[in-house]
Amino acid sequence: MKRRQFLTAAGVGAAASAVAMPAVAQSMPEMRWRLSSGFPKSLDTLYGAGETFAKYVAEMTDNKFQIQAFGAGEIVGTFQALDAVSNGTVECAHTASYYYVGKDPTFAIPCAIPFGLNARQMNAWMYHGGGMDLANEFYAKHGLFALPAGNTGTQMGGWFRKEIKTVDDLKGVKMRIAGIAGQVMAKLGVVPQQLAGGDIYPALERGTIDSAEWVGPYDDEKLGFVKVAPYYYYPGWWEGGPMFHVYFNQQKWNDLPKLYKDICMSAAAHANVDAQAKYDARNPAALRRLVSAGAQLRPFSPELMEAAYKAANELYDELSAKSADWKKLYESMRAFRNEEYLWFQVAEYTYDNFMIRARARG
């Protein structure tokens, strides 16, 4: 589906359905679907975005189309959600596609790659820069169709048992870090580990891993990392604006009545905005609480950031040489990112930098 068609459907189509809803819904079939989340129910922001999507679909169809959300592990685990959708075990899932880079590294790009797009830029690329069409062209090869449905904004750089001052300090560190970011970290000497959210704290507590990244203050506080790894680094350069999606079995999506497709688009767009707003509203107070609980905030050094940036671009060149799918999406994203920062450095950065300095002056 083209971007313009998507926006028209999500805006005009949903508005029209809202006006005539219960009469229109009476002529629509009753449907019951299941949604498998890639996140545990305890994380009300991430898991909650899938629930928000399902709630709005039900409300806009007068409960004719109901989608029941299940947390990670209730039907399938975090790293099996997309397989469950593509093979028809469930009709849809809400998750992060970078969990599936083992299948194909291209899965990372519509979610997040190191030094990629921030949250606003990701929305702009998806809705107005061709990103959604390119992503779904790739996803179709795996029997999937996807709609944007959440973002965290730039994440934190994770929790460490020891201070990380130089690149050498990363060597041998066993770190829970997912996707392409793990491959970049490996170039810097880290031993990457992929663990589901609920498995991270026990691994840190037992010393099975030395470090872990998840999202940011609000979620990290819930997971209790400050108790076992006090050094809290920023920024999470591997996730400048990670986008989560609702993934549909492609055949199931194709078979939906047009009105139901329009409603799903509208509901996903709402979940997309709502998740980001929740994080922006809740992270400040959570960060204060974490610092009060003993978290020691540390920025990654410029040396480390430069080394990571160099390693990331080396990896992207390697992947582009191997994979036409990766190259196609990556080149689109990179060109869009460069144009976006031409604009952001003029107005956004100048304004934010002034306001941050003004706040510091009191």
Q: Write the pLDDT tens digit of every residue in 147-166.
A: 999 999 999 999 999 999 99
Q: What does DSSP say about strands 144-151 and 211-212: parallel, antiparallel, or unpaired?
A: unpaired
Query: For residues 158 and 200, what is the distance between their CA atoms, to the nearest angstrom?
Result: 12
Question: Does a structural domain hold residue 54?
Answer: yes
Question: Does a structural domain hold residue 52?
Answer: yes
Question: Does a structural domain hold residue 46?
Answer: yes
Question: Does a structural domain hold residue 205?
Answer: no
Angle 302-322/179-187 helices, nearest 10 degrees? 110
- Closest of 276, 300, 144, 303 to residue 216, by C-alpha: 276
- Determine the pLDDT at residue 12: 44
Q: What share of the chain is helix, strand, coil (3-state, %, to 5)?
A: 55, 15, 30
Question: Does a structural domain hold residue 72?
Answer: yes
Q: What is each CA distance from 189 to 54, 184, 311, in whole angstroms?
A: 42, 9, 11
Question: Does a structural domain hold residue 303?
Answer: no
Residue 239 has pLDDT above 80, yes or no: yes
Banded model confidence at residue 26, pLDDT cuts 50, 70, 90: low
Question: Does a structural domain hold residue 362?
Answer: no
Q: What is the average pLDDT value for the chain, to the nearest integer?
A: 93
Banded model confidence at residue 202, pLDDT cuts 50, 70, 90: very high
Query: For residues 288 and 306, what is the distance between their CA atoms, to the nearest angstrom?
Result: 29
Average pLDDT over residues 63-85: 97
Residue 19 has pLDDT above 50, yes or no: no
Residue 22 has pLDDT above 60, yes or no: no
Q: Which range, of 23-27, 49-53, 107-111, 307-311, averages the lowest pLDDT?
A: 23-27
pLDDT tens digits along 327-357:
999 999 999 999 999 999 999 999 999 999 9
Q: Which domain holds residue 261?
A: 3-153+240-280
- Determine the pLDDT at residue 14: 47
Show the tokens assigned to 103.
């299948």
Average pLDDT over residues 27-44: 94
The count of structural domains within the chain is 1
The CATH number linked to 17 is 3.40.190.170
Question: Does a structural domain hold residue 136?
Answer: yes
- Closest of 338, 258, 270, 251 to residue 61, by C-alpha: 258
- Determine the pLDDT at residue 27: 66
Show the tokens assigned to 32.
């019951």
